[in-house]
Structures are given as C-alpha cells and as structure tokens.
Amino acid sequence: MSIKNNRLTAEQYEQNFSDIHPPFENREAALVEANRCLFCYDAPCTKSCPTSINIPKFIKQISTDNIKGSAYTILDANIMGGGCSKVCPVEKLCEGSCVYNLLDEPPIPIAKLQRYSTEKAIAAQWPLFQRKPSTGKKVAIVGAGPAGLSCAHVLSREGVEVTIYEKESKGGGLMTYGIAAYKVTPQFCDDEVKFITSLGGIHIKYEQELGRNVTLAELQANYDAVYLGIGVGVARSLDIPGEELAGVEDALRFIYDIREKGYPSVPVGDKVAVIGLGMTAIDAATQAKRLGAKEVTIVYRRTQAEMPSTEVELNLAKLDGCSIIWLASPKEVRGENGRVTQLICNVMELGVPDTSGRRTPVETGETIALDVDMVIKAAGQIPYEDLVQDNQLTHWYGKLVINENCETNIPGVFAGGDCVNGGKEVVDAVQAGKDGARAILGFLRK
Amino acid sequence: MADLSTNFLGIKSPNPFWLASAPPTDKKYNVLRAFEAGWGGVVWKTLGSQVKNVSSRYSAVDYNGTKMMGLNNIELISDRPLAINLREIAECIREFPDRAMVVSLMADNTRDKWHELIAQVEDTGAHGLELNFGCPHGMTERGMGAAVGQDPEIAKMVVEWVMEKATIPVITKLTPNVHSVVPTGRASIEGGTNALSLINTIQSVTGVDLDTFVPNPYVAGKSAYGGYCGPAVKPVALKMLTTIAQDPVTSRVPISGIGGISTWKDAAEFMLLGATSVQVCTAVMKHGFRIIEDLCDGLNNWMDEKGFNTIYDFIGKSVPTITHWEDLDINYHIVANINQDKCIHCGLCYIACEDTSHQAINLTYGKPYNTYSIIENECVGCNLCKLVCPVDNCITMVEQRKGDEYLNWIEFQQRGLPLNDH
C-alpha cells in the first residue's frame, strides 16, 4: 500500500473527470424538455430555489428561442446561475418540487435547461446587464466567493463602485476551489467570474487576505460600507490520536489540489477512508476513486436517514465503487514510520435526537479496524473564529451574527454566506449576497 | 367485429377511409402502396389542364414542439401528363378492384372541356368523380377551383355541364373560403350533384421567416397564399360539415368529410356529424400510409364498444344535438370541483380563472405547494379550469341545476328573470 500520483493514463483521467451532467446536445433536445414544462403559476420549483429564479418563465423563453431573455431571467435572480446549474443539489430544490413528481413522472430537467441558457450567455459573454449612473459610493467586499460576487454584482448594477479583496489568486470561492472537477471545470469558473465582473464597477484584488494584507479598520476607513463574505475555513479536526500522520488529508485541500495542480500530480492512496457524508465528502471520495484509488470507504457516524448528502450524491459515490460504513466514528489513526496504516472506528448506535433533531450517535463499545493508507477528513469546516474575534465581531462559535439587515454588530459592516450560516449551498450564498447588497443600498441611502 | 364496409352512392370500399385528392394520390406508385396498406379508397389528385409546380410547396405551423399542427401548400393540380394519369388510374383499379377509385377533376371553364375530361376519366373504369371547386391557390387566378366554388351560380352551371355527361356518381367538393358553404352546396345540388365533400383547404399564410422577412412557403424570395389543412382545421371543418348536414337541401345527399382527420376518433366525429366516408391527407403526409391500421382498428373497437354493427348505425347521430344558442337550457348549471388527491398544484386553473374568467378559485399559500379550491358561488361553469388542468379527471364539472325545468333565453326574457348582479 502506498500513496502515489500519476496512477492513470491521460485518457483515463480525461474520461474520469469529464462532465458528469452533459449538456443538451442541441436545440431540439432542449425543446423537448422545455415543452414538457407546464408553466406552473406561483411555481413550486421557483419557491424551492433559494434565489427564487422564475423557472417557468426562463423555460418558456427557451421554448420561444428567446435564449437571451432566458439567461437574463436566470442571472438576474442568481448571477451564478450558470455554476449553480452544475452544482446545485436540485433533487432537493427546484427539481425535487417539480409537480411532475406528483404524477410519478420524471421532473423537468431544470438544471440542464438552466445550463443550456447560461452557458451560451457566459461563453459569448453577453452584456445582459447595464450599470446605473454612478452613485459615488464605494463598498469593500471581502471574499470573491458566491456571496461576495453576488453582492458585488447587485451593488455595481445600482451604480456602486465595488472592490473585492480575495485571498486566493482566483475568484469563485468554493465554486472554484471546493467542488469536484467533474461537476464544474476550472475554466468554467474563470469564465463565470469574468462574466460577473464584465459588468464593470467590480475590481477584484487577489491575494489580499483580511487580517494579513488588509485590516477591517482600513476598509471601514476607505469605503462607505464593508461586506464580509469570507466563507468558512479549514476542515474540522477529528481530535483523535494519529491525526498528524502522513496520509491524513483535508478534503478541501485534496479537492483544491485536484483543481489547481492537475489530475496526474495529485497523490492518492491504494485504500482510502473518507470521514463524513456531506457533499464535500462525496466529492472527495468519488475523486479519490477517479484518481485511481483501489478502494474508497466512506465512514459516517450516523445512518443514511441523517446524512447531509442527497441520495443522488450518495448514489454517485456508490456507482463509482465507493463503499460506505454506517454508524462508524473515527477513534484513532494508526501508522508505521509516520505513515497511515489503519483507521480504528467506534461502532455507534443512534440515541436521542440532538438540537438539530437528528438522533445522536453513541458508542457501542465495539470497534472496527480499516486497513488504509490515506484518510480524508470531510467532517465539515470550521469558521474563522480567531479572525472575527480579533476584529471584535459578534459571533457564535466563529459564525458571524447578523441582524435582519444583514449587518454585524459593527455599523456599516455587513456579512453573509457560509461565514454566517456555517456552510450551505452555493445558491444559498448567492441569495445571501443579494440580501446583503439590498441592505447595503438601504444603508448607503441613509 | 363491426363491419366497416362503406357504400357511398354505390362506390364501395372496405372501410370509410379514403385518401383525399392531394400529393399522396398523384401516382400509381403511391396509390398502390396505400391500397397495400389497407386504405379503402382514393380520390386521385385533380386532373385538368397542364400545369407546372414550384418549389418549395409546403409550409407548416408547429405547436409547442409538435410538428405540423397545420400544413399549407401551394401545389397545383397534377402536373403530370393526363395520359399517364389515366393509364395509371386504370391499372390501379385493375390491381385493387375492391377499393374506391374516385377521380378529382378541374377542367377549363367550358362545357366541352368538362365533357371531354369526363369521358376520358370514365374510360379508366373509375367509380366516381369529385369536382374540385375548392382549390384556393393558383387555379383560382385562372377562374377555376375556389373561384367556381365561391360563386353558387357558376358552381351550379358547371355541375349541370358535368351531369349532362357523367354516368358515374359525382361528388362536388366545397371550398371553405366563403362565409357559408351552404349556398354553393345547395346550388350544386340544384345542378344535380350526387354528393358533397368538404372542406378543401383554407387560404392562409403560415408564418413569416423572422430572418429573411419572407412568409412561408419560400419561393425565391417570395411567397403566395397557400391552402391550410391538418389538425388545426378540424374544428372549422366539423362546423361546416354540420351546416351541410343540417340544411334541408344539402342534407339530402351523402357527404364525404375532409379536414384534419388524423385518428379514428376524428373520423368517428366526422361521421357522427354526417359524413359517410372520410378523406385523409395531412396525417399520411406526416406519417405515411401505415396509419390506416389504427384508423380501422380504433374505429372498429369503438363501434363494438358502442354496439354499432355498421357505420350506418351512427352516421349523423350527433347532427340533431347541435342547436341554436337560443334553444340552450339556461337552467343547466355546472360548477367545477377539484379533486385534491389528484391535484398537482400547478396553479394553471387558478391563474386562468383569476386573470381571464370569474375569480372563482381560491389560492391558499403553501411552500412549495399552494392549495386551490373552487368558490362555488362565483363559478359560472365555463369549463376553462378543467380545460387547462393537466391531470385527467382532477377537475370535474358537477351539475347544480338552477331550476328543474328546461328554460331557454327567450322564455327567460319573457318571464323577466333576474340577470347577473356583478
């Protein structure tokens, strides 16, 4: 057993990381589905979209060959509607509530149709939006992720000058750095950020990290308002012995490397354990398999009924050949010569429900041992508690606390997205950015 | 198994399904394929003076992804030499003697030309003639086709010429491009025609190309009015058929129904409204002759289900049920009912009623699914909600009579009964 890179041929990598949700081949194929849409009134799909995209309207526009109008309808509500069409867990959002489900018929492939319109808009960089005359106001946004970009776009359309401070060298946040490459390509993420900023009035300063290159006080001094869309940080640590051994990886780092360094250069073990069962865990497990790992085992301390991942995502992992051990909680990572050789897990059973309503797993006293050479931690991320603490921002275990106007305890400093909610979908962050922008516009008018 | 055989003025066919006079009946090759497939008869594409056709000839109206809801054409009568047509007609009759062979005619507007053409066609052994008084394009400019059918006097005159010569049954085909088909129908009967057929195609422009700005069909940068047909015209055809079937003069002769017939159901409807045979074109131009199988099979099963042994058991059965509006029963009142178990919460009934009708549907907000219910006091029983509902039998109309007795509008007024108050 060993961890090594370059396990596959170029063709195998290409095949393993090709688009998992291929787009419509042509207009006719899109129209077959667009014409199935019933054009519901006060549509359940729209109500199930965190950004409230008028889905029946954009689908109707596809059916009338008004692709520009369709793209506008989508992107006006969700400026990352292109990326969301690839990464949203639509089975529990729009498509999950399509009325066709109630007829036991397949729902309208809303994401695929959304992709049909937005991909054309982004590929051709259609100038769908125009800025209002400048208000002379300036806003600083920290973080060029979905929340920050969405907030920036709304503000800029309203004539506000926006500067975004981004610690990475690319925009897009977790869309660019934290999602499986077979769902959304780095090239698409680049194009999407380019499309958003093509509006004008949005200046992104890369490799500028809050607390390192720039301070909150400076931003407050130089701008009329500040929006924090800083997301969440490192992987939650397991707090178990052996976590420091070589071969224990952070899922986000693993996913980041796959996207940044290229598939052949990312090492993966022969036998990999992935801890956790959220979307990130699935992305890590499937990609470990697709990089050539022989065995991938997902270890989850609860059961399928409690998992954060959707069933569609779980099936993706199963189809990739990943196995799942339910009711197993990591107890210890064992190693030889400083390298991982085994993961010991407590066998759990479900006890009483916790505050989230999910039944809490409790130890049975039994353990199991998995022979592995790599352990990927995907048990959630933790917020930037030190950073917000240092800036005297009110928080709840690191998560920023905001009022109904998206404002933190510091007047003129607003926040939204993962740094507030602890980590949800891209589409939730986009809506948070819209809400933040509306609040800031109200604040600026005062 | 019901008996589908048809006897139309002595023109016998194993089933009532004939191919209309059109491109599918222009050649022996096509007609033999149709007979092999099982078609009961054909009306051979119109013969007359020599013409030449253009390309393109057709254009269509698609609807929500369904192709050819309506079709239009600017093709003229047969552009093949008359002698070839006549020879092929005779050959087809010889090969399939049990099928109906009717030949459509449109001679130049003189008695002699008509007589000459009739004699030539009768020599083929054809079983009947159909006079093309309906073609709305190309021929009208020459004083033929619809130009004849639109003027009852001329129609009568031409029918009289034909009847002087013809020894086989004559069907006169009516154009729908008139305010009413009845005057020409009556005139044709006065002129002696043995039967009527309708409708021919409706003058139309199917659309304009939004890139070239030239309407369809496109011929070297120009277009021309074409004859419209296909499923889109069926309701118009049924209405015109009914006026012929109800008129005391025109109802005396058998009718061959034409206009958007695509399925056995369409055919049954035409026959219930008075057609003895039905003619099909657009549906075969879209799908080929193979559709005859379900036309016969479906009609047969329906007849068995309804206890009809022959087509004559139901031809015209629905004609008396179409009455004048003034004779409708105002006391008959229905209100909509939504089956909540079947409702899929699409809201289509609500928005149709709220925006365009009587605000008789209540919306109770839910996320993601609203609940919709009928406000019976406001419901006028118009049916719109039921029509837009995508689920079968989810919305039903429940009878709630306003009074026990039959009451029409005339009596309603005479009695001074109350009108709507809002």
Q: Which residues of A touch B (CB under 8 A)?
A: 31-32, 34-35, 38-45, 47-48, 63, 97, 99-100, 102-103
The dihedral built from the CA positions of residue B175, B179, B182 and B185, taken in this order, carries a sign that is negative
Mean pLDDT of chain A: 95
Architecture of domain A138-233+382-445: 3-Layer(bba) Sandwich (3.50)
Position B137 scores a pLDDT of 67
Q: Which residues contact B251 (CB under 8 A, 6 or more apart)?
A: B244, B245, B274, B319
pTM of the model as a whole: 0.93
Q: What is the H or E stretch that residue A131 is in?
A: none
pLDDT tens digits for range A311-353: 999 999 999 999 999 999 999 999 999 999 999 999 999 998 8
Instruction: For residue A231, give the amino acid letter.
Output: G
Give chain A's end-to-end CA distance (angstroms, integer).
64
Asked if residue B422 belongs to a domain, the reply is: no
Q: What is the H or E stretch that residue B377 is in?
A: none
Rounded CA-CA distance B368/A46 in Å is: 8
Same domain flag for B380 and B282: no
Rounded CA-CA distance A275/A325 in Å is: 10
Same domain flag for B294 and B361: no
Helix (H, G, I), strand (E, B) or coil at A257: helix
Provide the token pair at A298: 């997902």
Asked if residue B419 belongs to a domain, the reply is: no
Rounded CA-CA distance B193/B253 in Å is: 8
Rounded CA-CA distance A222/B140 in Å is: 81
The conformational region for residue A173 under phi > 0 = left, psi -120 to 50 = alpha, else beta, is left
User: Which residue has 């075969």 as its token pair?
Assistant: B284
Provide the token pair at A275: 């801890």
Chain A: nearest CA to B388, how far in angstroms?
10
Position A186 scores a pLDDT of 87
Same domain flag for B405 and B301: no
How far lies B187's CA from each of A292, B158, B160, B250, in Å? 86, 10, 10, 9
Same domain flag for B337 and B301: no
User: Which residue has 């309701």 as its token pair?
Assistant: B235
The 10 Å Cβ neighbour count of residue B342 is: 15
Q: How far is CA A49 from the centre of its chain?
A: 15
Position B138 scores a pLDDT of 66
Asked if residue B22 belongs to a domain, the reply is: yes
B372 inside 8 A of chain A by CB: no
Same domain flag for B286 and B332: no
Asked if residue B261 belongs to a domain, the reply is: yes
CATH number, position B57: 3.20.20.70
Q: Which residues contact B70 (CB under 8 A, 6 or more apart)?
A: B60, B61, B204, B206, B228, B229, B230, B231, B232, B233
Position B140 scores a pLDDT of 67
Same domain flag for B280 and B410: no
Domain boundary among B304, B321, B338: B321
CA nearest B271: which of B291, B260, B257, B254? Answer: B257
Active site residue B135: yes
Same domain flag for B50 and B154: yes
Q: What is the H or E stretch that residue B130 is in?
A: strand B128-132
Rounded CA-CA distance B225/B145 in Å is: 14
Instruction: For residue B311, give the amino acid letter.
Output: I
Buried b / exposed e over A299-330, threshold 16 CB at 10 Å, is bbbbbeebbbbbeebbebbeebebebbbbbbb
Asked if residue B208 belongs to a domain, the reply is: yes
Position A21 scores a pLDDT of 86
Position B133 scores a pLDDT of 87
pLDDT tens digits for range A2-28: 899 999 999 999 999 998 888 999 999
Rounded CA-CA distance B244/B252 in Å is: 9
Question: Structurally, how many domains does chain B consist of?
Answer: 2
Helix (H, G, I), strand (E, B) or coil at A380: coil
Instruction: Give the confidence band of A203 by pLDDT, cuts at 50, 70, 90.
Output: very high
Contact criterion met (CB < 8 Å) for B345 and A44: yes
Domain boundary among B257, B291, B321: B321
Asked if residue B248 belongs to a domain, the reply is: yes
CATH 3.50.50.60 residue ranges of chain A are: 138-233+382-445, 248-377
Q: How far is CA B260 from the centre of its chain?
A: 5
Position B141 scores a pLDDT of 67
Same domain flag for B218 and B89: yes
422 residues of chain B, pLDDT tens digit each: 899 999 999 999 999 999 999 999 999 999 999 999 999 999 999 999 889 999 999 999 999 989 999 999 999 999 999 999 999 999 999 999 999 999 999 998 899 999 999 999 999 999 999 999 876 666 666 667 778 889 999 999 999 999 999 999 999 999 999 999 999 999 999 999 999 999 999 999 999 999 999 999 999 999 999 999 999 999 999 999 999 999 999 999 999 999 999 999 999 999 999 999 999 999 999 999 999 999 999 999 999 999 999 999 999 999 999 999 999 999 999 999 999 999 999 999 999 999 999 999 999 999 999 999 999 999 999 999 999 999 999 999 999 999 999 999 999 999 999 998 87
Contact criterion met (CB < 8 Å) for B345 and A47: no
User: Which residue has 């050819």 as its token pair?
Assistant: B68
Same domain flag for B275 and B368: no
Same domain flag for B309 and B363: no
Of A40, A47, A48, the CB nearest to B346: A40
Contact criterion met (CB < 8 Å) for A40 and B368: no
CA nearest A306: which of A273, A353, A347? Answer: A353
Fold classification of A19-123 (topology level): Fumarate Reductase Iron-sulfur Protein; Chain B, domain 2 (1.10.1060)
Instruction: Give the confidence band of A233 by pLDDT, cuts at 50, 70, 90.
Output: confident
Of A34, A35, A48, the CB nearest to B368: A48
Q: Which residues on neighbouring strands pair with residue A139, listed in sequence order? A: A162, A225
pLDDT, mean of residues A138-151:
98
pLDDT tens digits for range A173-201: 999 999 999 999 889 999 999 999 999 99
Domain boundary among B257, B289, B321: B321
* A–B CB contacts, 8 A cutoff, strictly below: 43
Q: Is B354 exposed, middle or buried (0-12, 13-18, 19+ CB in 10 A)?
A: middle
Contact criterion met (CB < 8 Å) for A41 and B348: yes
Provide the token pair at B57: 């000839």
How far lies B227's CA from each of A242, B16, B17, B27, in Å? 83, 24, 22, 21
The 10 Å Cβ neighbour count of residue A172 is: 27
Position A223 pLDDT exceeds 90: yes
B167 inside 8 A of chain A by CB: no
B386 is in which domain, residue-wise?
Answer: 326-414
Fold classification of A248-377 (topology level): FAD/NAD(P)-binding domain (3.50.50)
Position B421 scores a pLDDT of 82
Rounded CA-CA distance B282/B272 in Å is: 21
Chain A: nearest CA to B390, how far in angstroms?
8
Position A357 scores a pLDDT of 82
Asked if residue B420 belongs to a domain, the reply is: no
Contact criterion met (CB < 8 Å) for B367 and A47: yes
Position A274 pLDDT exceeds 80: yes
Position B134 scores a pLDDT of 76
Chain A: nearest CA to B225, how far in angstroms?
25
B63 inside 8 A of chain A by CB: no
Minimum mean pLDDT range among A221-235, A346-360, A362-376, B350-364? A346-360
Contact criterion met (CB < 8 Å) for A32 and B347: no
ipTM attached to this prediction: 0.91
pLDDT tens digits for range A71-121: 999 999 999 999 999 999 999 999 999 999 999 999 999 999 999 999 999
Asked if residue B200 belongs to a domain, the reply is: yes
Task: DSSP letter for B208, please.
Answer: B
Q: Is B290 exposed, middle or buried (0-12, 13-18, 19+ CB in 10 A)?
A: exposed
Q: Which residues on neighbouring strands pair with residue A140, listed in sequence order? A: A163, A226
Chain B: nearest CA to A65, how far in angstroms?
12
A-contacting residues of B 168-197, CB under 8 Å?
Answer: none
CATH number, position B390: 3.30.70.20
pLDDT tens digits for range B265-323: 999 999 999 999 999 999 999 999 999 999 999 999 999 999 999 999 999 999 999 99
Position A358 scores a pLDDT of 82
